[in-house]
Amino acid sequence: MGMLIIIDQPPYGTWAGREALDMAFALAAFDQPTSLLFTGAGVNWLRKAQDTADIEQKSLEKNLAAAPIFGIEAILADRTACQRYNLNSEAMIDGVQLTNASADLLGQYSQTAFAG
């Protein structure tokens, strides 16, 4: 059981994914079992070597790297979405489990939420 937070928007262009990550961290801080699922264009969060100096935003790659330390149980990514965005395992940050965003997957969690 536990809670699944879904991120389906890419980083930087909108704040929705960032605020979804905050939700996941808050759940983990209260010892709630929590996983993250990246799907659709949201899988672009998982690309290595994000350099945000020129757009003056914090690197979300670094934020996400803190997820295991905060107690997030799993970082999941939809396999089809990764293929669509040409994101192979070499280009991907460590610690991501490939999966299929499906009824079976969502059925494993008691609650599922987007940030917006």
Q: Which residue lies nearer to another protein by CB, 51 or 69?
A: 51
- Based on CB atoms, which residue is closest to another protein, 97 or 110? 110
| Nearer of residues 69 and 90 to another protein, judged by Cβ | 90
Contact assessment for residue 7 and residue 21, using Cβ atoms and an 8 Å cutoff:
yes
Cβ proximity to another protein: between 2 and 68 the closer is 2
User: Which parts of this chain interact with another protein (CB under 8 A)?
Assistant: 1-3, 8-16, 19, 22-23, 26-27, 29-30, 32-33, 39-41, 44, 47-58, 61, 84-87, 91, 101-107, 109-116
Nearest CA to 45 among 5, 73, 102? Answer: 5
DSSP-assigned letter for residue 54? G
| Dist CA 14 CA 30 (whole Å) | 27
As measured in angstroms, the least distance from the Cβ of 55 to another protein is 5
Q: Are strands 96-99 and 34-38 parallel, antiparallel or unpaired?
A: unpaired
Cα–Cα–Cα angle for 16, 18, 24, rounded to 5 degrees: 105
Rounded least distance, CB 68 to another protein, Å:
19
